Amino acid sequence: MDGLVLGPLVLPWSRLQVALGLLVFLGAAWALGRRHPILWPWAQNAVLLGLLGARLGFVLEHWPVYARDPLAALYVWQGVFSPFWGILLAGGYTLRRLPKGLWPYALLASLLGVLALAALWQGRPRAEGSLPGLTLYTLGGSPVSLEAFKGKPLVLNLWATWCPPCRRELPMMLRVAGETPGVGFAFASQGETREAVRLFLDQNRLEATWVLLDPGASLSQALKAQGLPTTFFFDREGRLVARHLGEISEAVLLGYLRMLAR
């Protein structure tokens, strides 16, 4: 299971872990704040500053990527943060905001949040499986067996033209595919007609080199994808080594590619 399904929404497991950890932290701070009122506003501000610092830190760590498209730094829905910088900023705020006598309470609330996060981390899903032996089709109607992709790492993206996150990430992923000849890429449209996919690509001036059709959405069933987009990363032997639910940023995609290269 990649995430929690809430009607039409799918919350990725990693974000669920962080959200619940923060809720435990805030809940502990609220309970302790009944005796020490300053703890509740401190906790709220610490969370906001921590998230801000974690996001800014991630952007700065990957600035060569974000320099190409600075507005992408605002795409917080992609869920990419650097915990170190968040902890550093929230910790600095805590040292300045809270009296020393309340530091143990702040540490207790933080510890409870970390323990909740660690408990969820132990139960996180692991990437297991292999490349399905299915046949897809090019926009020209030619069959393509996924077995043909074995021999080098493969990035397999499940998408659809009606999916807003898919539409946002696809141009970037197609560009990265063209810049990474040592890795295979396949973008399998799920349950759509050739005409719909071709129209979308033409309207957005996108190359169709790596785009394939999966009219029966057989890949979503075989790989148990819970939502779109979902990106799967396979090694040279076709073993699944990682999966990413939801829109992927270029910085995160490049991190996965470095992992495949090892």
Q: Per-residue pLDDT tens for 145-203?
A: 999 999 999 999 999 999 999 999 999 999 999 999 999 999 999 999 999 999 999 99
pTM of the shown model: 0.90
Residues 6+ apart with CB under 8 A from 63: none
Q: Please list, in sequence order, all residues whose beta carbon lies within 8 angstroms of the beta carbon of residue 238, skipping any fewer than 6 positions away.
A: 130, 131, 147, 149, 150, 154
Separation of alpha carbons 92 and 83, rounded Å: 14
pLDDT tens-digit series, residues 10-44:
678 788 889 999 999 999 999 999 999 999 999 99
Q: What angle do CA 259, 244, 207 make, to 5 degrees?
A: 85
pLDDT at 113: 94
